[in-house]
């Protein structure tokens, strides 16, 4: 299973729907749309720059929802919004989730939303609008904590391959393989997708050996900056990853 991330409004403000539909047609399984934020502390330089460029282009939560208004008339690929909690709270959590349901968004990834706060304050709102909340599992997480995150999460678990910002890395290290095997032994109820550092067919295939699939972000964001038609860039990228 391949999930692909890009920043809404990058490289151009009105590319969002084209990229989503192109990814669906090319063979991606899930689309993660980054909501640009002015202080993307968990992101590496490639995604940081794409986020800042998107903001400069005029992207906002309001604009993104407008761009997604008719997306379900064009594709049924699962769509997840990923970003930071602050813009969601500014928009209004109930209003935000209602808009997600209206346009056909399937889930959210909010890395800076503490799982306990989600469970205590926002779970009922997510459930009301049938939204998955996808939680991140860092490599240093205890087995007991992982089981709790699995209970609170829905859709899939975002398995963080390394304790660092996002970006392309080399092949998995022994400690990462040990971590992936520990996850496998826990018999988790949610599918597992490995993210952070997946950038090629080799690393994608390697990740799929230890999980249900992988997430590619920085490598795809960088590819979108090449000259050429978006549809061709997307098709060529997915072909290189999935064959």
Q: At what angle do helices 16-26 and 230-242 cross, to 10 degrees?
A: 40
Give ∠ CA 30-36-37 in degrees, rounded to 5. 135
What is the distance between the alpha carbons of residues 48 and 37, in angstroms, rounded to a whole number? 9
pLDDT of residue 168 exceeding 50 = no
Catalytic residues: 32, 43
What is the distance between the alpha carbons of residues 22 and 238, in angstroms, rounded to a whole number? 10
Three-state DSSP class for residue 174: helix
CATH class of 2-242: alpha beta
In the chain, pLDDT over 90 holds for what percent of residues?
87
Structure tokens at 195: 């993210």
- CA torsion sign for 221, 222, 225, 229 is negative
What are the residue ranges spanned by the domains of the chain?
2-242
Cβ contact 24:8 at 8 Å = no
Give the tens place of pLDDT for each residue, 6-50.
999 999 999 999 999 999 999 999 999 999 877 756 567 888 889
pLDDT at 133: 97
Q: Which pTM was predicted?
A: 0.93
Residue written as token pair 């306990």: 116
The DSSP secondary-structure symbol of 1 reads: -
């Amino acid at each position: 299973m391949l999930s692909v991330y890009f920043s809404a409004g990058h490289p151009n403000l009105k590319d969002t729907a084209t990229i989503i539909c192109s990814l669906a047609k090319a063979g991606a399984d899930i689309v993660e749309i980054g909501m640009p934020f002015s202080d993307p502390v968990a992101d590496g330089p490639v995604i940081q720059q794409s986020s800042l460029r998107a903001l400069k282009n005029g992207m906002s939560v309001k604009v993104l929802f407008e761009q997604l208004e008719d997306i379900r008339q064009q594709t049924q690929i699962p769509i997840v919004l990923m970003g930071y909690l602050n813009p969601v709270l500014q928009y209004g959590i109930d209003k935000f989730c209602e808009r997600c349901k209206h346009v056909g968004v399937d889930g959210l990834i909010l890395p800076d939303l503490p799982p306990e706060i989600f469970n205590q304050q926002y779970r009922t709102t997510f459930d009301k609008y049938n939204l998955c909340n996808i939680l991140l599992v860092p490599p240093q997480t205890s087995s007991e904590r992982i089981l709790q995150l699995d209970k609170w999460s829905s859709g899939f678990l975002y398995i963080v391959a390394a304790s660092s910002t996002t970006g392309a890395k080399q092949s998995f290290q022994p400690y990462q393989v040990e971590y992936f095997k520990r996850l496998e032994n826990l018999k988790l109820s949610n599918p597992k997708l490995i993210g952070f550092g997946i950038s090629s067919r080799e690393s994608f295939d390697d990740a799929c050996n230890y999980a249900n699939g992988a997430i590619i972000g920085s490598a795809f964001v960088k590819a979108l900056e090449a000259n050429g038609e978006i549809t061709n860039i997307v098709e060529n990228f997915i072909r290189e990853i999935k064959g």
